[in-house]
Chain A
Amino acid sequence: MITLVIIELQKIFKKWRTYIGFIAIGLLAIIVQLALYFTGQKLIDSQLKNFEQTFIMVGNLFNGYFIAHLILGALIIHVPFLIVLVGGDLLAGEATAGTYRMILTRPVSRLQVITSKFISGFIYVVLLLAWLAFLSIGVSLIIFGSGPLLSLGNGIVIIAENDILWRFLGAYAFAALSMTTVICFAILFSSLVQNAIGPIVSTMAVIFVFLILSALPVEFLQNLRPYFFTSHMLQWDNFFRDPVNYSEILKSTWILLAHIAGLYLITTYIFIKKDILS
């Protein structure tokens, strides 16, 4: 299995499309950092305007952690667009190229092949998010320095400097889970067709449809909302609340894990039963 995963990763990272996500995230992170470098203080001043009469703000609140949190919030909703470029191609790419015939006539089972695809997809997601973490936390800390984290979500939360890093770790781990769910959808759609465009469009359509259904003020849909995977994808921000709502995070974790398991099982079933005609 390890050999298969290494081979899959080699294939993924030899394709130029794999780097679109890394380049896009790199560019966006740099643009946000540059913009905040010049205008960020104004942003923080306007955000804190209402609290200045009640609280005395001390220390450097406009620091690397604040920027990192801002970048994570701004970019994480766009990461699925980048992930599906790779996920949608994982199986459909083999069908398009005709290479199914080459790999499936080897002494490896289809279960091993599909599992290696999922694992390498997961590793790609983790690497992409690690890249985002490096740029948003690492580079921001170098440029803007360190300090307590000002989290502006449901109210104002200021987190002490020595209490921040584990929250980012938790947030990124949760984001990895969310994005793995997305790539699992892409792999499922990828197993059904022979062209990568279909799975890319289909996965994005699924995300949009669930987001729209979640937003519609219809009682029936509101009752279903807790089971939509899109409702749980932004739970990463819970790590920056005080106190952290662990039960909510755990519940979302289970729901996303159930999605991943379900999507893996369905895809595996389809792949094992599939006649390779390409």
Chain B
Amino acid sequence: MNSEQVIEVRGLTKKFRNLTAVDNLDLNVYRGDVFGFLGPNGAGKSTTIRMLLSLIKPTSGEMKIFNKSIVKDRKEIFSKVGAIVEKPDFYLYLSAYKNLEILGKLSGADTSKKKIMEMLELVGLEKRYKSKVKTYSHGMKQRLGLAQALLHDPELIILDEPTTGLDPQGMKEIRDLIIYLSREKGKTIFLSSHILHEVELIATRMIILNKGKVQVEGTVEDLLKSDKVSVTFEVDNVQEVQNVINESLWKESYKSTFKNELKFELTKDEITNLNKFLVEKKIAVSAIVPVRSLEDYFLKITEGGEK
């Protein structure tokens, strides 16, 4: 991990009258990170992104991007930031090409036809570049949103739910594009998403936010590794296995039985150890199915069952 901080947030708070949308948030995003920003609806993700992009003013706290103050060095910072905030909205009465040209000029980007068409090709909209955006589907607008965020070749890309409204193929393409931008182009990506599987696949570090407060922060790998996973062991003789388990320390991890499946809650390391234990006891295990993912973890965290 690169130690150069791209985003640094300290004690960020936003209050709307009686509602505290973001509560004393601390955040660090390092160069090269694909930073997953997770949380249920109303957790304060979009409010945080809007504050980072100076669309709304924080009640208190400090934010720095590229080690510069968002308030004082706004122009310099935003020339190196590309963003999609919630759903991408455009001038519906203008073509995709014209929208990109306008937004590119505002960012000081190269707005030559070649460059704009390159961007449209990147997101698969080159054939519809003359069409007015009002004729675009939500998924197409989402792709155009990505194109406008990348047009000026930003160092930091802030994406708020970038795959919303896309079909599975489109979601995969965007995911692949994010991975490409991170690994091949060295971009730092701040990714807010409600599709947790997506974050699990592409994020290097993440934060889970709930009710405006940080619940957990760390690398995706560590967060999953340290947490217990729900695992199903498929065996031939369930009764025999239950007896063996009950006489061992594994009984504390045992949860339930359904047909020929025994369910355990285990860490990743424990899965290997339990399998080894069963093999030593000459028990044939036909399958090990981990059913625990970041989604379970996320739900557990946001429901307040775990901290």
Is residue B180 within 8 Å, beta carbon to beta carbon, of the partner chain? no
CB contact between B92 and one of A16, A97, A102 (< 8 Å): that residue: A97
Residues in B neighbouring A103, C-beta threshold 8 A? 103, 106
Decide if B93 touches A106 in the complex (CB within 8 Å). Answer: no
CB contact between A275 and one of B56, B78, B90, B94 (< 8 Å): that residue: B56
Is residue B115 within 8 Å, beta carbon to beta carbon, of the partner chain? no
Known: A7-B102, A10-B102. A105 touches B91 (CB 8 A): no
Within 8 A of B (CB), among A92-116: 97-109
Residues in B neighbouring A3, C-beta threshold 8 A? 105-106
Residues in A neighbouring B105, C-beta threshold 8 A? 3, 7
Known: A14-B93, A107-B78. A101 touches B106 (CB 8 A): no
Number of interface residues of A (CB under 8 A): 25
The proximity string for B residues 76-102 relative to A, scoring 1 for CB distances below 8 Å and 0 otherwise, is 111101010111111111100010001
Within 8 A of A (CB), among B32-63: 50, 53-57
Number of interface residues of B (CB under 8 A): 32
CB contact between B90 and one of A4, A16, A99, A276 (< 8 Å): that residue: A99
Known: A10-B102, A276-B56. A105 touches B93 (CB 8 A): no
Decide if A102 touches B89 in the complex (CB within 8 Å). Answer: yes
How far, in angstroms, from A277 to B55 measured CA to CA in the complex?
A: 8
Is residue A49 within 8 Å, beta carbon to beta carbon, of the partner chain? no
The proximity string for A residues 1-31 relative to B, scoring 1 for CB distances below 8 Å and 0 otherwise, is 0011001001100111000000000000000
Residues in A neighbouring B89, C-beta threshold 8 A? 97-99, 101-102
Decide if B55 touches A101 in the complex (CB within 8 Å). Answer: yes
Q: Which residue of B lies closest to A103 (CB)?
A: B106
Q: Which residue of B lies closest to A108 (CB)?
A: B106
Is residue B108 within 8 Å, beta carbon to beta carbon, of the partner chain? yes
CB distance from A273 to the nearest CB of B (A): 8
Residues in B neighbouring A277, C-beta threshold 8 A? 50, 56
Decide if B78 touches A276 in the complex (CB within 8 Å). Answer: no
The proximity string for B residues 202-220 relative to A, scoring 1 for CB distances below 8 Å and 0 otherwise, is 0000000000000000000
Is residue B74 within 8 Å, beta carbon to beta carbon, of the partner chain? yes
Decide if A97 touches B54 in the complex (CB within 8 Å). Answer: no
Decide if A276 touches B91 in the complex (CB within 8 Å). Answer: no
Residues in A neighbouring B85, C-beta threshold 8 A? 101, 105
CB contact between A106 and one of B57, B86, B106 (< 8 Å): that residue: B106
CB distance from B9 to the nearest CB of A (A): 17
Decide if B108 touches A97 in the complex (CB within 8 Å). Answer: no
Is residue B107 within 8 Å, beta carbon to beta carbon, of the partner chain? yes
CB contact between B75 and one of A99, A100, A102, A107 (< 8 Å): that residue: A107
CB distance from A179 to the nearest CB of B (A): 25
How far, in angstroms, from A109 to B90 measured CA to CA in the complex?
A: 20
How far, in angstroms, from A108 to B74 measured CA to CA in the complex?
A: 8
Decide if B55 touches A100 in the complex (CB within 8 Å). Answer: yes
Decide if A107 touches B57 in the complex (CB within 8 Å). Answer: no
Known: A97-B89, A98-B87. A105 touches B56 (CB 8 A): no
Residues in B neighbouring A10, C-beta threshold 8 A? 98, 102
CB contact between A105 and one of B83, B90, B94 (< 8 Å): that residue: B83
Decide if A105 touches B57 in the complex (CB within 8 Å). Answer: no
Decide if B91 touches A97 in the complex (CB within 8 Å). Answer: yes
How far, in angstroms, from A277 to B93 measured CA to CA in the complex?
A: 22
Is residue B163 within 8 Å, beta carbon to beta carbon, of the partner chain? no
Q: List 19 A-B contacts (CB under 8 A).
A: A4-B106, A7-B102, A7-B106, A10-B102, A14-B91, A99-B89, A99-B90, A101-B85, A102-B88, A102-B103, A104-B54, A104-B55, A105-B78, A105-B81, A106-B107, A108-B75, A109-B75, A275-B55, A275-B57
Interface residues of B (CB under 8 A from A): 50, 53-57, 74-79, 81, 83, 85-94, 98, 102-103, 105-108, 148
Extra 11 A-B pairs, beta carbons < 8 Å, given A101-B86, A107-B74: A4-B106, A10-B102, A11-B94, A14-B91, A14-B98, A97-B91, A104-B54, A105-B81, A106-B107, A108-B106, A276-B55
